[in-house]
Amino acid sequence: MQSPNPSSSPRLDDERRQNFIAATMSILAEHGYVGTTLARIAERAEVSPSLLVHYFGDKDSLLGAAFWSLSESLWREILRRFATARDSRARLQAIIDSLLAPEQFRQREGAVWLSFWGQVPYAPTLKRIQHIYQRRMLSNLSYDLRALVPAQEVRPLATAIASLIDGTWLRAALSEWQEANSAAARTQVTAFLDSQIARHALTDLSPVPIPQTRTEMKTCHNWIDGQFVTTNGPRFETRNPATGELLAEVETAGKSEHTAAIASARRGQKVWSRMTGTERGRVLHKAAELLRRDNAELAHLETLDTGKPIAETSTVDILSGADALEYFGSQASSLSGESIDLGPEAFGYTRREPLGITAGIGAWNYPIQIACWKSAPALACGNAMIFKSSEMTPLTAVRLAAIYKEAGLPDGVFNVLHGAGDVGKRLCAEPEIRKISLTGSVPTGIAVMREAANTLKYVTLELGGKSPLIIFDDADINNAVSAALLGNFYSGGEICSNGTRVFVQSGIRERFLSELKRRVEAMRIGDPLAPDTDIGALISASHLEKVLSYVKSAINEGATLLTGGKRLTDGTFSQGAFMQPTVFVNCRDDMKIAREEIFGPVMTVLDFTNEEEVIARANATEFGLAAGVFTSNLARGHRVVAALEAGTCWINQYNITPIELPFGGYKKSGLGRENSRAALEHYTQIKTVYVALGDVESPY
């Protein structure tokens, strides 16, 4: 790899950048956003404007970097104060004190913050930074409020505190800093917090009753016919991959649990399919509300079971599951067939009917979200579902089952069976089950389809990928780097649609790599339960070994390690499956890391020169789950995605999967689609009815 700037060391580069950012802040404070020009900043920094362009690209990118640096310095200050905070209450105080500290809450700082916030609606880069800032703030506040107030009060209270702080800043700015008294502001917000804690301390702090409490979770039972069922058969363990701690012993579903689940699903589905779509939708809406109510607790559980950062599980995993329930709850009442005119003697109509009993089989990376994505459309259409979670992450699917029950779902409509592949295999072989929806690897997909063929079941397969992320010379570099980070390191890289083959056009390569390296190395690896952790633990030690074997093979095949590559074993990392986010450059398409799905935090950067070449190379894979294109030329963006063989494509974005859009793969990445109205097709069958209006004409 060529160094981005051979004459200067990375440290010197960093210092220079910091100087430029400091100059930007002081110009912003004096001249506001519009008056801040590259020429003024360059003059203040005593360099030429072209040097600024060399480092940052353009004014927007420079201001984005300054905004990011400002919000990062604030977070550093909060973290510094966290170090001496003894408990949740003290950590909340640390947040309030940092945000309203005398050295922060001043006209100069206020002017800079307001310049940025005022521009957020018009500048996507700033919008993204503000979004991250707000999400972090809410997840930090929520994390500590959980220990002090009932679960359902956590989010509203976190939002109220954040709004109070923002409002205090705004009032100070509007009064031209006449009303900016740091001590008084802190006292006011603190008093509000204490009054809320005192108010809720009078109420019962135990979680809203759900049949299975955390203590009972030490044994995780199967859920059949609206209740936990105890079995005496074999058990397996589920452990926290960050600490090795035993979370629960899980009871395996044997043949008798399978038979009981089928019988109960048969009964439940009869009741459920006779309810109207509006009634079914009402239950799904209620369950979505309950998932949101229990978000904090479920996110905690999901983080323990998967090792993923709480910052992710508390903002994405459960809430995106709730979105699915809400979306399909709304679709339930509008399911309909068609009426077809056949002339004066007849007409026809179609009925969209449920399949009956369906099965969902989940992977371990998004356990509760997968359970929601599968069950919501199945249930909306009037089916019953038997769900088998991955044996690595069995804890939250049964919580979803309990929530469904609390929401009013008839017993038997959603059952959960625990166990390994053989439990899934039994579901695939079961004649009464009419459809299997699997999220898993390609070999499992093939095995499932083969087994399902014996009883001619429908299958939806959401399988693996090795997706391309293509970055053209004219891309917005900050956005492209952000996408590459999200598309490789979010959830520790354990995401099927990740853009793990990052194709970078030669003209942008050096800038892209230097920015990428800087931002990867700033990522925080740590305790998944700490709110500021970016990268938690991988799912297991054996999976970590597999990921590390790819690192070894990349080095053996001649790739250059840009950063990362190591397992972390010191101190708190010693018992967990932690590794550094890893980037390889100087890679070739024929290398193992560029061909096989790794499912871990390993990015492969590949160089390219032209559009035709990169399309051919991007498509040269057996997978076809997803793809991304970054370019400022929209015509090219559309042209390239039209040529890509992938089920989901993003232009200037990566890994966003809103429930309203279909999701699924081309080629070996799968069959069928989840999410959106397309999913409804996969959970219903069409009955055709011919209605004669005249006599039967017969030649006999």
Cβ 445 to ligand NDP shortest distance, Å: 7
Among 238, 240, 444, 655, which residue sits at the site for ligand NDP (rule: CB under 6 A)? 444
CA separation for the pair 418, 275 (Å, rounded): 29
**How big is the chain, counted in residues?**
700
Please provide residue 415's backbone torsions phi and psi, each rounded to the nearest 5 degrees.
Answer: -110, 150
Task: Give residue for tokens 């871990």.
Answer: 600
581 closest CA partner among 441, 478, 484, 476: 484
With contacts defined by CB under 6 A, name the span among 174-182, 256-264, 461-469, 688-696 that binds ligand NDP.
461-469
- Is 72 a residue of the active site? no
Among positions 77, 312, 411, 462, the unique one binding ligand NDP when judged by CB under 6 A:
462
Is residue 382 a contact residue for ligand NDP (CB under 6 A)? no
Beta strand 582-585 pairing with 648-651: unpaired
CB of 15 to ligand NDP, least distance (A): 42
Q: Does residue 385 bind ligand NDP (CB under 6 A)?
A: no
Tokens coding 552: 């070894």
- Residue count, binding to ligand NDP (CB under 6 A): 30
Sign of CA dihedral 296, 299, 303, 308: negative
Q: Which is nearer to ligand NDP, 115 or 675 (CB)?
A: 675
Alpha helices in 47-123 (DSSP H): 49-56, 59-82, 88-99, 107-119
Least separation in angstroms between CB 142 and ligand NDP: 26
Give φ, ψ of 303 to 5 degrees: -65, -40
The dihedrals phi and psi of 408, each to the nearest 5 degrees, come to 110, 10
Q: Does 68 bind ligand NDP (CB under 6 A)?
A: no
Q: Would you say 61 or 675 has its CB closer to ligand NDP?
A: 675
Q: State the Cα–Cα distance between residues 674 and 681, nearest whole angstrom.
A: 10
Structure-token pair, residue 25? 């802040």
Nearest distance in Å: CB 224, ligand NDP: 18
**Using rule CB under 6 A, residue 302 touches ligand NDP:** no
Asked if 425 is part of the footprint of ligand NDP (rule: CB under 6 A), the reply reads: yes
By CB under 6 A, tell whether 221 contacts ligand NDP.
no
Q: Quick check: 599 binds ligand NDP (CB under 6 A)?
A: yes
Q: Is 625 in the site for ligand NDP (CB under 6 A)?
A: yes
CA atoms within 13 A on the CB side of 279: 10
> Minimal distance in Å, beta carbon 436 to ligand NDP?
8
- Please select the residue that binds ligand NDP; options are 294, 297, 312, 391, rule is CB under 6 A: 391
Among 362, 487, 492, 528, binds ligand NDP (CB under 6 A): 362
464 interacts with ligand NDP by CB under 6 A: yes
At its nearest, how many Å lie between ligand NDP and the CB of residue 362? 5
Of 564 and 665, CB closest to ligand NDP? 665
Q: Which residue has the tokens 């570099």?
A: 477
Alpha-carbon distance of 36 to 360, in angstroms, equals 55
| Min dist. Cβ of residue 190 to ligand NDP (A) | 44
What are the residues facing 102 on neighbouring strands?
none
List 242, 496, 535, 679, residue binding ligand NDP (CB under 6 A): 496
Q: Which of 331, 390, 415, 478 binds ligand NDP (CB under 6 A)?
A: 390
d(CA 291, CA 442): 31
- Answer yes or no whether residue 4 interacts with ligand NDP by CB under 6 A: no
Nearer to ligand NDP by Cβ, of 309 and 670: the residue is: 670
Beta carbon of residue 543, minimum distance to ligand NDP (angstroms, whole number): 8
Distance CA 430, CA 619 (A): 37
Give the pair of three-digit tokens for residue 192: 């509000």
Take residue 297 and report the two structure tokens written for it.
Answer: 């607790």
Q: Does 301 bind ligand NDP (CB under 6 A)?
A: no
By CB under 6 A, tell whether 397 contacts ligand NDP.
no
Rounded Cα distance, 78 and 80, in Å: 5
- Angle at the Cα of 562 from the Cα atoms of 557 and 568, rounded to 5 degrees: 95
Q: Out of 242, 428, 525, 649, name the contact with ligand NDP by CB under 6 A.
A: 428
Contact between 548 and ligand NDP by CB under 6 A: the answer reads no
**Between 93 and 497, CB nearer to ligand NDP:** 497
* Selected range binding ligand NDP among 22-30, 228-236, 243-251, 439-447, rule: CB under 6 A: 439-447
Nearest to 601 by CA among 565, 575, 572, 574: 565
DSSP H helices, 598-691, are 611-619, 634-643, 676-681
Instruction: CB nearer to ligand NDP: give 119 or 498.
Output: 498
Of 364 and 630, the one with the shorter C-beta distance to ligand NDP is: 364
Query: Contact with ligand NDP (CB under 6 A): which of 226, 424, 564, 565?
Result: 424
Nearer to ligand NDP, 448 or 606 (CB): 448
Q: Take residue 397 and report the two structure tokens written for it.
A: 């699917």
Task: Pick one of 77, 294, 305, 597: the residue that binds ligand NDP (CB under 6 A).
Answer: 597
DSSP 8-state symbol, 171: H
- Selecting among 326, 462, 515, 597, the annotated active-site residue is 462
Residues 374 and 382: their CA atoms lie apart, in Å, by: 13
Can you tell me which of 12, 191, 205, 420 binds ligand NDP, judged by CB under 6 A? Answer: 420
Q: Which helix (H) or strand (E) holds 656?
A: none
Candidates 104, 91, 103, 24; CA nearest to 56 is 24
Residue of 388, 466, 668, 673 interacting with ligand NDP (CB under 6 A): 388
448 is an interface residue for ligand NDP by CB under 6 A: yes
Told to check if 533 binds ligand NDP by CB under 6 A, we report no
Chain residues 652-691 in contact with ligand NDP, contact rule CB under 6 A: 665, 670
Residue 535, SS3 per DSSP? strand
Environment class of 290 (CB within 10 Å of its CB; exposed 0-12, middle 13-18, buried 19+): buried
Q: How many helices (H) and strands (E) does the chain have?
A: 25, 23
Nearer to ligand NDP, 185 or 625 (CB): 625
Nearest residue to 113 via CA among 96, 128, 126 = 126
Residue nearest to ligand NDP (CB): 424
Based on CB atoms, which residue is closest to ligand NDP, 154 or 539? 539
The DSSP secondary structure of 333-353, one letter per residue, reads: TT----EEE--TTEEEEEEEE
> What residues form DSSP beta bridges with 436?
359, 459
Q: Which two tokens stand for residue 285?
A: 């809406």
Nearer to ligand NDP, 463 or 649 (CB): 463
Query: Does residue number 361 form part of the binding site for ligand NDP (CB under 6 A)?
Result: yes
Q: Which of 53, 160, 275, 447 binds ligand NDP (CB under 6 A)?
A: 447
**Residues with catalytic roles:** 462
Which spans of this chain sit near ligand NDP (rule: CB under 6 A)? 361-365, 388, 390-391, 420-421, 424-425, 428, 438-441, 444, 447-448, 462-465, 496, 597, 599, 625, 665, 670
